[in-house]
Amino acid sequence: MRLPCPGLDGRSVNGVFVVFRSGNCMSANLEARLERLYSRRTFGIKLGLETETAILEELGNPHRSCLVVHVAGTNGKGSVCAMIESVLRAAGLKTALYTSPHLVRFNERFRVSGRDIGDDELAAVMDAVEDAADRVRARTGHEATFFESSTAMAFEYFRRAGVEMAVIEVGMGGRLDATNVVDPLVSVITRIDIEHAQHLGGTVAEIAREKGGIVKPGRPVVIGGMPEEAASVIAGIAAANGARTVSASDVGVTLRKRDIEGQTVRIESAGADYGTVRVPLLGPHQLENAATAVAAVETLGECLGCGFTDRQVKSGLEQVRWPGRCQVLSAKPLLVVDGAHNPGAGKVLAGALRSIRRKPWGLVMGMCADKDARGFAAALGKVVERVWLVPVRTERAADPKLLEAAAAAAGWRPEHATLNDAVAAGMRWAGDTGRGVCIAGSLFLAGEALEMAEKGELFR
C-alpha cells in the first residue's frame, strides 16, 4: 500500500555519555555537534509549543510532510510505538519512528524503515535545525531546549527521507510537549500513572488531562488499559473535541505459551481474527501493549479507507524489536535488562519477572535522583531477594545513600558495586541457585548494560 503523500567509542558530553562509531571519519565533527546540542540541556525543560513551532516554520514545516500516529502515556508507549511502526513497515510503507531517550547511541531516536539515522545524515539535519534555532533566538530571544531541537531534527530528517507514515512518541505529558505540533491521523494513549509530578500534576486525573492534550478535533483516539479515572478524563476531552474513542480492550490477546525468547498469543478483535502470533517481547504487560497497537492499526486502516491485512499485522508483531525492555542478555545464568524507572513500571516489571521465573530474583539497581526510588523498590520488594546498588553514568544519578534507604525500606540488604562487578556477582549467584538477575532502575543504566554487552565487557 502506497500513500499519496510525500564498533563503539564514547565520552561524556555535558554530563551524558554519548557513543560514536569507531573509525568513522565523521565522529569528531559529529561529537562537536552533539556537544552543542547537549549544551541545550542547560535551558532545562520548557513545556510549550511556541519555540518548536517557530523552528519548524523556519524549516518549512517538515512535520506536515507525512502522515502521523501520535502516542502518549506513562508506561508502554515505547513498546506500542515499536509495534505500530513494525506493522506499518510490514505493510510496505516507508515508515519513521521517533522515540526518546536513546539507550546507547543518540542516532537510535530517529529511525526510517527500521534503521537508525546515519552519522552523515544526523550531522546534516543537526546543522539545519541549529541554524533555524539560532534565527528563532535572534528574532524572539527564545532558546530552544534539547528536546525541542531533537524533535525538529526528527521531522526534518523524515521529510528528507521521504517518509510516508511516522510514529511519534511524546516526550513528556502531551498537551505542551514539543511533539504536539503534529496533526495526527490517530492518537494513542497508553497506561497512565503518576510521573513527572512537578510538571504534569500530582494526581492521575491531572496527568491524564496533560496526556489527553494530544487529542485533536475529529481525529480518533485509542485508549489503552488504564485506571478508570484516567480513562474518564480522556473520554471527556475526546467528546469535547468530537473525537471518536476506541478502547484497546475491544482487542483480545490471550496467552498460549511463554518462554525466554517471547510469547505466543492469540489475537482477535470485532473485525478480525489474527490467529496465533509469536511476539518476541517478554512480560504480561506486552499483551496489553499488543492489544493497544492492534487497535491503533485497525483504527488507522479505517481512517485511510484501506485496512491492513491479517498477515501484515501478524508479520509486524512477530518482527518487532524494542531493546532494553525485559531483554534477555544471557540465558544461562539468566540475565535480563529492563528500562523500568518508576513505581508503575516497577509493578509491571515485577509481574514480568514472575512470569519468566518464579524463584526470587537478584536486582542490579541504579536510578536517577528525580525518580521515586522508594516506590520503585517497594514495587519489586516481594520479587527480589539479592540487591546490588550501582552508579548511573549521568550527572542526574541518585545519591547512593538515597538508594540504600529505598532498598532498606523494601526489606533488602544491598551491596554497593560497579555495574560490571555487580553483574559478575549476580551471575555467580544466579548460576549457583538457578535464579535470575535483572538490571533495572534507569534507561541510562539499561543503555550502559547494553553497550557493555555489545562490546563483550559485561560478563568479565
Contacts of 117 (CB under 8 A, 6+ apart): 107, 110, 111, 125, 157
Determine the average pLDDT of the residues in 179-191: 97
The CATH number of domain 327-452, selected from 2.30.29.30, 3.50.50.60, 3.90.190.20, 3.30.1440.10: 3.90.190.20
Nearest one of 145, 202, 147, 143 to 169, comparing CA atoms: 147
Integer Cα distance of 438 and 214 in angstroms: 34
pLDDT for the residue numbered 156: 98
Quick one: the chain helix, strand, coil %, rounded to 5? 45, 20, 35
* pLDDT(440) > 50: yes
pLDDT for the residue numbered 14: 40
Residue of 227 and 68 predicted with greater confidence: 68
Residue of 54 and 76 predicted with greater confidence: 54
How much of the chain, in percent, has pLDDT values that exceed 90?
79
pLDDT band per the 50, 70, 90 thresholds, residue 40: confident
* pLDDT(1) > 70: no
pLDDT for the residue numbered 27: 59
Integer Cα distance of 64 and 182 in angstroms: 7
pLDDT for the residue numbered 193: 72
Nearest one of 178, 201, 181, 165 to 84, comparing CA atoms: 165
Q: Dump pLDDT digits (tens) for 246-269.
A: 999 999 999 999 999 999 999 999
Integer Cα distance of 107 and 57 in angstroms: 24
Q: Dump pLDDT digits (tens) for 108-123.
A: 999 999 999 999 999 9
pLDDT band per the 50, 70, 90 thresholds, residue 12: very low
* pLDDT(436) > 60: yes
pLDDT band per the 50, 70, 90 thresholds, residue 20: very low
Burial of 49 (0-12, 13-18, 19+ CB in 10 A): middle
What pTM was estimated for this model as a whole? 0.88
pLDDT for the residue numbered 200: 53
User: Which residues are bridge partners to 221 per DSSP?
Assistant: 187, 245
* pLDDT(175) > 90: yes
pLDDT for the residue numbered 23: 38
- For every residue of 267-281, DSSP letters joined together read EE-SS-EEEEEEE--
User: Are 238 and 245 in contact, with CB atoms under 8 Å apart?
Assistant: yes
pLDDT for the residue numbered 393: 87
Q: Dump pLDDT digits (tens) for 294-341.
A: 999 999 999 999 889 999 999 999 999 999 999 999 999 999 999 999
pLDDT band per the 50, 70, 90 thresholds, residue 398: very high
Integer Cα distance of 41 and 150 in angstroms: 11
Q: Dump pLDDT digits (tens) for 277-287.
A: 999 999 999 99
Strand order in the sheet with 273-279: 252-259, 262-268, 273-279
What are the b/e assignments for 226-245, b being 16+ CB within 10 Å? beeebbebbbebbeebebeb
* pLDDT(421) > 90: yes
Residue of 48 and 252 predicted with greater confidence: 252
* pLDDT(84) > 80: yes
* pLDDT(144) > 60: yes
* Main-chain phi, psi angles of 267, to 5 degrees: -125, 130
pLDDT band per the 50, 70, 90 thresholds, residue 209: very high
pLDDT band per the 50, 70, 90 thresholds, residue 183: very high
Architecture in CATH for domain 8-319: 3-Layer(aba) Sandwich (3.40)
- For every residue of 163-214, DSSP letters joined together read -SEEEEE-SSSSTTSGGGG---SEEEE-------HHHH-SSHHHHHHHHGGG
Strands (E), 269-370: 273-279, 327-330, 334-337, 361-365
Determine the average pLDDT of the residues in 25-36: 72
How much of the chain, in percent, has pLDDT values that exceed 70?
90
Determine the average pLDDT of the residues in 139-160: 96
Mean pLDDT of the chain: 90
Total count of residues recorded for the chain: 460
pLDDT for the residue numbered 186: 98
**What does the domain layout of the chain look like in residue ranges?**
8-319, 327-452
Residue of 309 and 41 predicted with greater confidence: 309
User: Are 106 and 18 in contact, with CB atoms under 8 Å apart?
Assistant: yes
pLDDT for the residue numbered 460: 56
Determine the average pLDDT of the residues in 223-239: 94
* Main-chain phi, psi angles of 23, to 5 degrees: 80, 0
